[in-house]
Structure 1
Amino acid sequence: MDNSTLLNTGPVSWVLLAVLLALATMVWRAALGRRAREIVIAGLRALVQLAVVALLISRMAGHPELALGFVALMFTVAVWTSGHRVAPSGRWWLAGIPIIGGVLPTAALMFLSSVLPWNALAIIAVLGQQIGSAMASTTLTGRRVEDELIVRRGEVEAGVALGFLWSEARSMVAKPVAGEAVLPSIDQTRTSGLVTLPGTFVGLILGGASPLDAGLIQLLVLISLLLVNTSAAWVTMLLSTRGAWQHETADR
């Protein structure tokens, strides 16, 4: 195996990619009853996008301002993706609020403390991870809370009948389930080094960093993602309790 990579990247890897994608598609379609094209398109998009991103990143080294432009593109795609999962026929663009609400304060703290350098590759790597994590938390929290509010609508209406505001009544239903989206991040952090070896840590070790430095950097990444995810989940819940995602709830 080439010491510069974690996996062998010869011709057989392309064959394995096709096999893995085909098997994932079969399970998604046959066992879970979902549309096969979702998995296929996701895999093909990842191939094209990673190829383009690899080319762009190689051109951005030394140009932090270009990196910020690329981060803005990441944010836009994340808002579109998460928003259409939570509110496909509603105010999907509101997904930008929890995503930026999770990323902005966390990134600001890292910049102000000089932990995150003004370096193009560092900006793309760290902020890209944070945006992706906030996107996932927004999607999971939004879908979970919106579904819960539909199923338990009677409880919400009962709360209003007792004198609670609509937002307060929704909050009593939403709060117990809103944090579930953050559980994977918590579990990844608490089992880091025992169950999971995160990519940042492995990459740094392979790149020649000392185990202590690699561990500290990975810890900073994991803890920062906890702040990103909890903040995004909280803001998403607030939007749901105020009926902000759906057009038809304006009177409540």
Structure 2
Amino acid sequence: MDNSTLLVLGPNAWVLLAVLLVLAAVLWRTALGRPPLQMLVAGVRALLQLAAVALVIAWLADRGAWAFAFVALMFVVGVWTSGHRVAPEGRWWVAAIPLAAGVIPVAALMFAAGVLPFSALAIIAVMGQQIGGAMSTVTLSGRRIRDELVLRRGEVEAAVALGFQWPAARLMVGRGVAGEAVLPSVDQTRTAGLVTLPGAFVGMILGGAAPLDAGLIQLLVLISLLVVNATAATATLWLSCRGAWVAAGRLNGAFPACRRFPGL
């Protein structure tokens, strides 16, 4: 095997990719009752996007300033993706708030400490992971809080009847589930090196980096993601408890059961 790659690449790899994608689509449809086209489109998009991104990153290698433009594109796509998952017919653009709240302060700290250099490859790699983590957290926490508020609407109304304001009443219900979106990051950090070997760590080892240096870099990434995701979940909870996702006059759209909450 070529020691520059983790897996053996060649024609068999492409055949296996197609088989795995079709298998995933079949399971998505037969076991989970979801449209198989979603899975197929996701796989094809990933192929095309990774190919395009590889070319863009190669072009940006010595153009540090342009890296921020590419990161901005990542951010916009992340807002669009998570926003439409949480509020498909509501104020989906509100997702920009928790994403920015999670990513910008942590990235600023890394720049200020001199840990993250003004290198295109470093900026795209690190901030891309942070945006991706925040995007997943906003999606999971936003949907989970939304569903919990609908399921336990009686508790919210009871709290309001006792004198609580609507945001405070929703907070008592939503707070317990908001943090669940951060648990995958916590588990990934706890089990790093035991259950999984993060991709950046393996890539640096294959690239010839010293094991301790690779470990420290990966640790910085993992811990930064904990802060990013925890902040994104907190901001999502705050916005959800104040009805920020719901467009005025469209309470029956993105959040169908929100019409039951007069204060939303």
The TM-score by the shorter chain falls in which range?
over 0.9
Aligned residue number for residue 44 of structure 1: 44
Aligned residue number for residue 104 of structure 1: 104
Residue 24 of structure 1: how far off its partner (Å) = 0.5
1:192 aligned counterpart, secondary structure: coil
Structure 1 unmatched runs, 5+: none
Task: State the TM-score, normalizing by the size of structure 1.
Answer: 0.98
The aligned amino acid for 1:5 is T
Q: Does 1:180 align with 2:180?
A: yes
Matches within 5 A, 1:42-191: 42-191=42-191
Coordinate RMSD, CA, aligned: 0.9
In percent, how many aligned pairs have the same letter?
A: 67
Distance 2:140 2:195 in 1: 23
Distance 1:217 1:232 in 2: 22
CA contact (8 A) 2:166 2:263 kept: no
Q: Which runs of 4+ in 1 moved over 4 A?
A: none
Matches within 5 A, 1:19-30: 19-30=19-30
Distance 1:122 1:231 in 2: 22
Aligned residue number for residue 255 of structure 2: none
Aligned residues: 252
Distance 1:204 1:64 in 2: 21
Aligned residue number for residue 32 of structure 2: 32
Task: State the TM-score, normalizing by the size of structure 2.
Answer: 0.94
Distance 1:54 1:62 in 2: 14
Structure 2 unmatched runs, 5+: 252-257
CA contact (8 A) 2:160 2:169 kept: yes
Aligned residue number for residue 210 of structure 1: 210
Distance 1:127 1:240 in 2: 25
Residue 251 of structure 1: how far off its partner (Å) = 4.7
The aligned amino acid for 1:17 is L
The aligned amino acid for 1:190 is R
Distance 1:146 1:71 in 2: 29
The aligned amino acid for 2:228 is V
Distance 1:164 1:238 in 2: 16
The aligned amino acid for 2:231 is S
Instruction: Provide, for residues 130-164 of structure 1, a one-character-per-residue CA deviation record: whole Å limited to 9, x for no partner.
Output: 00000000000000000000111111111111000
The aligned amino acid for 1:124 is I
